[in-house]
Amino acid sequence: MSRRVLVPLLLCLSGCGGAPPAGPVVIRFLEAPDVGGGWHAIIDRFEAQSPGIRVDLVEGPPSTDTREEMYAAAFLGGDASYDLVYMDVPWVPKFAARGWLRTLDARLPAAARAAFLPADLAGSTYRGHLFRVPMQTDAGMLYYRSDLVPRAPETFDELVRMARAAQAPPERWGFVFEGLQYEGLVTTFLEVLWGYGGRVIDDDGRVVLDSPAAERALEWMAGLVGTIAPRAVTAYQEEDARQAFQEGRAVFMRNWPYAWTLLQKPDSPVAGKVGIAPMPHAPGAESAATLGGWGFGIAASTPHPDEAWRFIAFATSADEQKVLHFRNGRIPTRRALFDDPAILAESPYYRSLLPVLLAARPRPVHPRYAEISAAIQRHVSAALVGRETPAGALRAAADEIRAIVGER
């Protein structure tokens, strides 16, 4: 093609002026499969009141790690597939530091921010700028079969004792949790680690994952596999654990609160037989929940930031958070919804959930969190399947994390 033809064509591609683009503006985001149909309901309601905008939900793989890689691959490859970025809380520092997000400082004024739970907002902020609007929050909880055990256990050892007494393997195991080598394993491991008084990184920034407390935590966890947890637990993600528990194949389960709504559906064999409580802890230490949760950012690469914002403002409103709650069980991030009569009628435990959420602890906040997590995933998983000893696994993970965060 001669230069004379190419130049006008390039100019034209970058905005020919004149006729507006034909058809609606399409804004796209990637999320997990829409179990419950809440996202489709929200998008239908938005499109009905927003002529000219279409929202394209890409239902991707259930694992957060894989979806993070998909977003990262798109941004690294300079491909503008995603206008909205539906982000897990630990992704925020990396995505912001890489310049993949627009700041939302001017779009969400301070008064509007005050309506959200503080930890979710803190997790949406990087170096003083807001990059995400929280849509749903999360904190790890212990579920128990209230028809099989009289109450929730307080301590880790009590959980094991109660599980042994009530289990009947292989039909019904004592405990199921997220044991696969992926992010869900890290969130569960942290709850055990913290529950034993351990840390990954201390307040002075030193990596302390190879402490005696951490060793006790990982020994406890590795000791579950094949005794009160099925060996297959090392291949479980959230939904595998939820299905096992819902089918009556487990006495206890560690999972996020979304499972509650699904467990109580009329066709659930355990409806009405489920209790939910904070995670157990070691004697003398405190129960801890990992802070999870998701929210929307706007991709730096989108040509449609205003349309993207219109959808964010709509979806994160109280009404739409309720839709996602009732359909998919997701927990709202707006504090006022914890007093909402309709939500409390359906999920009475929400009153006791609020203190757990307010105390939920973040994973290490670092732009290289994905690598920190990968080191924990690899070695904790190796300990669960018996390929590494708990002490060896923690030493190796701690050394890798020291190299990642630059500690000598």
Closest CB to ligand GLC among 64 and 167?
Answer: 64
Closest CB to ligand GLC among 153 and 292?
Answer: 292
Tell me the closest approach of the beta carbon of residue 33 to ligand GLC, in angstroms: 12
Q: Does 191 bind ligand GLC (CB under 6 A)?
A: no
Closest CB to ligand GLC among 256 and 311?
Answer: 256
Q: Give the residue from 321, 371, 324 showing the smallest Cα distance to 37.
A: 324
DSSP state of 318: H
E-assigned strands of 4-140?
25-31, 53-59, 84-88, 125-126, 129-130, 133-139
Member of 43, 53, 55, 64 binding ligand GLC (CB under 6 A): 64
Q: Which residue is nearest to ligand GLC (CB)?
A: 292
Member of 174, 195, 197, 293 binding ligand GLC (CB under 6 A): 293
Tell me the closest approach of the beta carbon of residue 65 to ligand GLC, in angstroms: 8
Member of 42, 43, 87, 89 binding ligand GLC (CB under 6 A): 89
Q: Give buried/exposed letters for 281-293 (b at 16+ CB in 10 A, else e).
A: bbeebebbbbbbb
Tell me the closest approach of the beta carbon of residue 191 to ligand GLC, in angstroms: 12
> Near ligand GLC by CB under 6 A, which window of 23-31, 158-166, 268-276, 287-295?
287-295
> Near ligand GLC by CB under 6 A, which window of 148-156, 217-225, 286-294, 309-317?
286-294
Q: Does 292 bind ligand GLC (CB under 6 A)?
A: yes
Cis before 170? omega within 30: yes
Q: What 3-state DSSP class applies to 47?
A: helix
Residues contacting residue 57 through CB under 8 Å, at least 6 positions apart: 28, 29, 31, 34, 39, 40, 43
Tell me the closest approach of the beta carbon of residue 137 to ligand GLC, in angstroms: 8
Member of 123, 184, 295, 390 binding ligand GLC (CB under 6 A): 184
> Near ligand GLC by CB under 6 A, which window of 160-168, 247-255, 292-300, 317-325?
292-300
Tell me the closest approach of the beta carbon of residue 88 to ligand GLC, in angstroms: 5
Q: Does 88 bind ligand GLC (CB under 6 A)?
A: yes
Tell me the closest approach of the beta carbon of residue 370 to ligand GLC, in angstroms: 11
Residues contacting residue 363 through CB under 8 Å, at least 6 positions apart: 89, 90, 186, 187, 190, 290, 291, 369, 373
Q: Which long-range contacts (CB under 8 A, 24 or more apart) does 380-389 make?
A: 380/185, 380/186, 380/189, 380/218, 380/221, 381/179, 381/180, 381/181, 381/185, 381/234, 383/218, 383/221, 383/222, 384/179, 384/221, 384/222, 384/225, 384/234, 385/225, 385/234, 386/222, 386/225
Member of 81, 103, 167, 187 binding ligand GLC (CB under 6 A): 187
> Near ligand GLC by CB under 6 A, which window of 3-11, 115-123, 168-176, 291-299?
291-299
For the beta carbon of residue 267, count every other beta carbon within 10 angstroms.
6
Tokens of 41: 């309901």
Q: Which of residues 243-272 bind ligand GLC (CB under 6 A)?
A: 256
Q: Give the residue from 362, 365, 363, 358 showing the smallest Cα distance to 118.
A: 358
Tell me the closest approach of the beta carbon of residue 15 to ligand GLC, in angstroms: 39
Tell me the closest approach of the beta carbon of residue 189 to ligand GLC, in angstroms: 11
Contact indicator for 248, 269 with CB cutoff of 8 Å: yes
Residues of this chain that bind ligand GLC (CB under 6 A)? 64, 88-89, 138, 183-184, 187, 238, 256, 292-294
